Amino acid sequence: MSDEREKDSNVQEFKLDSDCELRFEVESKNEKVTLELKNGMAEIFGTELVKGKSYHFTTGAKIAVFTWQGCTLELRGKIDVNYIAKETPMPGWVVSRDTDTMLDRCVGEQENWSSSVQTLQRNIIPRQGPLNSPLFACTQPAPQIMYLNVHAALEQLRRSAEAGNTRGPITMVAGPTDVGKSTFCRLLLNYAVRMGRRPILVDLDVGQGQISVPGTIGALLVERPANVEEGFSQQAPLVYHYGHASAGSNLALYNMLVSRLSEVVSERMQANRKANASGVIINTCGWVKGEGYKQLTHIAQAFEIDLIVVLDQERLYNELVRDMPTFVKVVFLPKSGGVVERSQGTRAEGRDGRVREYFYGLRTPLYPHSFDVWFSDTKIYKVGAPALPDSCMPLGMKAEDNMTKLVAVSPGPNLLHHLLAVSFAASTEEDVITTNVAGFICVFDPQRFQYYVKQQVWNSQLGLVKQLRNYLNKEDECGHGKAVYDRIVPAVATTAQDSATLVGDTVHGQSLVPARHSVRQHDNNTSNLARTSSVLFVVEVAQRLDQFIKMEIRKGKIN
């Protein structure tokens, strides 16, 4: 009887009026909360909820469910914080299931970028009366610029770009930490996709990014709204290795990768007309002072930004207005009242969670695999070397900048629990630092070198090959369908981020390798490599593995 009462006490029903938002947080460890839409219409960060479907959220989730017309929601599980907010950044704006109608209602007949920005700044599209009532311009300035207004203006620019076969708007979202930059980017992307667009997400937040593991930057073509529980589909992101959780750890490397990523994104846009018209949404780090501000200006220059949206900080807004060219429009937006500040511990847990999710998945379970690689068949590098002090240099000479230099490293116990990012560079002669990565591997047992021989290595590889082929035959969601051995290439890898958590999922990039490869040491060399070092790892054994797979197929040992 007590169990039934406890079960009933963990079920709550909320009735929301139009333009209201239910906010809840899951803070208890090992807790799971289930959300279900009973009646009406609602969305989470721009993704519509399906009536009667259960959505599951675990520890650390901070969710805001918004409704335009009113709805009834049911929450099951222990909820630490929950309340209904009536003052949000969204009220007063209409989202219609007919996306063309939504746009026509929102932006009317703006002709160009200048009038669109004026629309943003004047806040001219509030809704009065019932949902289907006509819209009209506001004669008095609104207290804040609403999020949907930004989407409406961007959509008008996309239409103009599509009609003129020109580049769509490139938008950068900037602001200090914990102001909702990632959520705002997700909202803009979801609304764009719901209107048939294919925008590109560029995530430059190396500490709390959405695309890959911590310590990376990357880009992702968004073709469908984000999954409520898992976020955007990440079947083939473009990822570059940085190797630190802070953008300030290696400024030269960070700026180099940003420039390279901007070049590749520009090439992708030119090759894809729909993506070109849809534009780019760029998420940035929360470091906005000193060198962090210089990084923002470098990003704006590299990507040729059209619009900068500054969240919450007027100081940053005024500095950007002062320093940006006149053709770059800077808009100030307040942060949502539902934004929650995160402690350093919470941020660290979030990074560990991203690594764990990469290897094991979030909702769909993934199965990382391990196999042995001879370190004598590999080459290991770290990115960056300590600079010599000026006192050690000859008179009149300055030390060379080594922050983007490859330095050879001997394998050793210090590689334990390091993530190595497998690059598409075919050899060390190529510029492996600015080559995108295919995926990540983890060193989990560097001490057992004395127990492994070559035959066991091949046996482990054979088991891996069978698993990969089964995966391709049954669950090739990407539609590739080719044998794995045709896709294995010599690779270069880089450490992404030091973590004591073992993790993995499918290797992303141009080839489909749905297993994570762990590396074990087979010699006793040691090095002074710090746990946070960036390491490049060349897996030359891939060519031999390729030959071995083909041989086993000819023998009939692999079905």
Binding residues for ATP: 21, 62, 178-183
> Residue 556 burial (CB < 10 Å; 0-12/13-18/19+)?
exposed
Q: How far apart are CA 171 and CA 185, in angstroms?
A: 9
Measured over all CA atoms, what is the biggest interatomic distance in the chain, rounded to whole angstroms?
A: 86
Expressed in angstroms, the distance from the first to the final Cα of the chain is: 55
Across-strand partners of 34? 56, 76
User: Which residue type, as a one-letter code, is found at position 79?
Assistant: I
Other Cβ atoms closer than 10 A to 342:
16
Phi and psi at residue 491, to the nearest 5°: -135, 155
DSSP 493: E
Cα 408 vs. chain centroid, distance in angstroms? 30
Q: Of 191, 174, 171, 193, which is closest to residue 182 (Cα–Cα)?
A: 174
| C-alpha distance from residue 240 to each of 205, 218, 291 (Å) | 12, 6, 21
| CB contact burial 485-524 (16+ within 10 A = b; e otherwise) | bebbbebbbbbbbbbebbbbbbbbbebbbbbbbbbbbbee
Phi and psi at residue 217, to the nearest 5°: -125, 160
Q: Of 486, 507, 491, which is closest to residue 549 (Cα–Cα)?
A: 486
DSSP 216: E
**Residues belonging to the chain:** 559
Binding site as annotated, residues:
21, 62, 178-183
> Residue 38 burial (CB < 10 Å; 0-12/13-18/19+)?
middle
Q: How far apart are CA 383 and CA 428, in angstroms?
A: 13
